[in-house]
Structure 1
Amino acid sequence: MNVGIGLPISDPATLLTWARRAEDGPFTTLGLLDRLVYDNPEPLIALAVLAGATSRIRVQTEVLLAPLRDTALLAKQTATLDRMTGGRLVLGLGVGGREDDHRATGYDLRTRGRRLDEQLPLLRHLWSGGPYGDGVGPIGPAPARPAGPEVLFGGFKPVALERVARWGDGFLAAALPSWAGGLFDTVREQWREHGRAGAPRLVAQVNVALGPQQVVDEARDAMHAYYAFTGMPERMVADLLTTPKAVREALTAYADLGADEVMCYCHGVDPAQVDRLAELL
């Protein structure tokens, strides 16, 4: 099972250090969250910079809020990043649940799922070299993979899980092992029902903070602020893993569930957490 690093969002200037340390370690992927009305870096731009500073490690959105973005431009941006990184882009997609993000772009929060379902066939069509339509030709460049970058879907509701089988390559589960197992089973079942060959790629995400108390406190504060919109950020903060033993146990549990990769998401800005996680592995 592979292990990746989820990057903190509160200090973009430190992310190059994180990326270079992760590249030198045992990690396979760098992940970055997406918000619009928040003090965080835009993920496609940030990951492009990090990809240019590395040569091996994959870059992944966790998850990119596609309904907030123009579909044709998103197709071009992601194809460009995928092509220029030699296929290292993993495009995690979701709908988002923050009303302010959607209000800022003029889209109705209530239609976000429908909009994503309309975007997906067009994205696949454009990545494959097809014309946009209505007298508009293809939108290049061609991505590194003929069908476009690897696509993972995040979410918890049945319609979100079904998108994996309909349009995706895999599933991104931001859930503890006790919940992730059921989600994985549902995704596998949907995959079979849709007649997909092989198996979906299953990626889990767990929040971690390793280091002195200052690092842990900083991570808790950052998580509390980020998830305040839910009305129950304390529940998210309570699940933060803060000891090597807890992280090892979670990784073992995900491996037992058949996860292909686990993203250890760090909310504290101390890049030495990369080294601590590397030692743990």
Structure 2
Amino acid sequence: MHVGLGLPISDPAALLDWARRADAGPFRTLGLLDRLVYDNPEPLVALAMVAGATSRVHVQTEVLLAPLRDPALLAKQAATLDRMSGGRLVLGLGVGGRADDHLASGTDLRTRGRRMDEQLAIMRRLWAGEPYSAECGPIGPAPLRPEGPEILFGGFQPAALDRVGRWGGGFLAAAAPSWAGSLFDAVRRSWKDNGRAGEPRIVAQINVALGPEEVSDDARAAMGAYYEFSGRADVMLAGMLTTPTEIRTALAEFDGLGADEVMFYCYGRDADQVDRLADVVS
């Protein structure tokens, strides 16, 4: 089972330090979340910088809010990053649920799921080299694979889980081990029901803060502000893991559930967490 790091969003300039440390350590992936109406770096731009500062780790959106974006431009951006990073892009996608993001992008919150399915069909066509339409030609560059970068789908609703089977790729689960197992099972059923060969890739995510008390305080403040809109910030904060024992226990539980990778999502800015988490993994 691989382990990756979700990068903190509160200090974009520090991300390259995080990235270089992670590239030298045991981590497979560096992830970055997406919002529009929030003080966070745009993930494709930021991850392009991260990819350029590293040589080994994958760069992953978790999750990119696809319905906020034009599908042709998104296909071009993703293919460009895929090619220039040597195939290290993992495109985690979700529909988003915050009304302000959709207001700012001029998209309809009510139709976001249908819009993402339409986007996926367009992007897959473009990545395969087909014309955009009868009046408009192909859009390059071509990604390294005709089907495009690896795609993960995030979400909890049945329609979101079923996308994994319908479109292929894998599942990104921001859920504790205690209830992630049922989500994994639903995704695997969708995979088989849609006649997919092999198994879907399962990526879990847990929130961590490892270090002195000020590291945990910084992480809680940043995470609480991020989830304030939901009215469930206290629940999310209660699930943050802050000791090596807690983190190792969660890793063992996800391994038992058959996860392929676990992302340690960090809201605290202290880059020394990279080294502390590397020690936990080792």
Q: TM-score, normalised by structure 2?
A: 0.99
Contact 2:17 2:271 (C-alpha < 8 Å) held by counterparts:
yes
Give yes or no for the alignment of 1:45 onto 2:42: no
Structure 1 CA distance for aligned equivalents of residues 239 and 206 of structure 2: 9
Structure 2 CA distance for aligned equivalents of residues 232 and 158 of structure 1: 21
Q: Corresponding residue for 1:210?
A: 210
| C-alpha deviation, 1:232, in angstroms | 1.4
| C-alpha deviation, 1:114, in angstroms | 1.1
Contact 2:168 2:196 (C-alpha < 8 Å) held by counterparts:
no
Mapping for residues 189-268 of structure 1, pairs under 5 Å: 189-268=189-268
Given residue 139 of structure 2, which amino acid in structure 1 is its aligned partner?
I
> Could you give the per-residue CA deviations for residues 182-231 of structure 1, whole angstroms, max 9, x where no partner exists?
00001001100100011100000000000000000110111110011111
Unaligned runs of 5+ in 2: none
Given residue 206 of structure 1, which amino acid in structure 2 is its aligned partner?
I
Q: Corresponding residue for 1:277?
A: 277
Paired residue secondary structure (2:276): helix
Q: Corresponding residue for 1:141?
A: 141
| Farther-moved stretch of structure 1 (35-44 vs 109-118) | 109-118
Structure 1 CA distance for aligned equivalents of residues 186 and 114 of structure 2: 21
Aligned residues: 281
Q: Corresponding residue for 1:10?
A: 10
| C-alpha deviation, 1:264, in angstroms | 0.3
> Could you give the per-residue CA deviations for residues 94-149 of structure 1, whole angstroms, max 9, x where no partner exists?
00011000000111111111110111111111111110003100000000122100
Unaligned runs of 5+ in 1: none
Contact 1:153 1:168 (C-alpha < 8 Å) held by counterparts:
no
Q: TM-score, normalised by structure 1?
A: 0.99
Give yes or no for the alignment of 1:150 onto 2:150: yes
> Could you give the per-residue CA deviations for residues 62-114 of structure 1, whole angstroms, max 9, x where no partner exists?
00000000000000000000011111000000000110000001111111111
Percent of residue pairs identical: 71
CA RMSD of aligned residues (A): 0.5
> Could you give the per-residue CA deviations for residues 1-24 of structure 1, whole angstroms, max 9, x where no partner exists?
000000000000000000000000
Structure 1 CA distance for aligned equivalents of residues 107 and 135 of structure 2: 26
Structure 1 CA distance for aligned equivalents of residues 145 and 2 of structure 2: 21
Paired residue secondary structure (2:153): strand
Q: Corresponding residue for 1:77?
A: 77
Given residue 221 of structure 2, which amino acid in structure 1 is its aligned partner?
D
> Could you give the per-residue CA deviations for residues 230-259 of structure 1, whole angstroms, max 9, x where no partner exists?
111110011000000000000000000000
| C-alpha deviation, 1:267, in angstroms | 0.3
Contact 1:203 1:263 (C-alpha < 8 Å) held by counterparts:
yes
Contact 1:22 1:274 (C-alpha < 8 Å) held by counterparts:
yes
Give yes or no for the alignment of 1:97 onto 2:111: no
Structure 2 CA distance for aligned equivalents of residues 161 and 144 of structure 1: 26
Structure 2 CA distance for aligned equivalents of residues 232 and 164 of structure 1: 27
Q: Deviation above 2 Å: which 4+ runs of structure 1? A: none
Contact 1:72 1:123 (C-alpha < 8 Å) held by counterparts:
yes
Mapping for residues 156-171 of structure 1, pairs under 5 Å: 156-171=156-171
Structure 2 CA distance for aligned equivalents of residues 63 and 138 of structure 1: 27
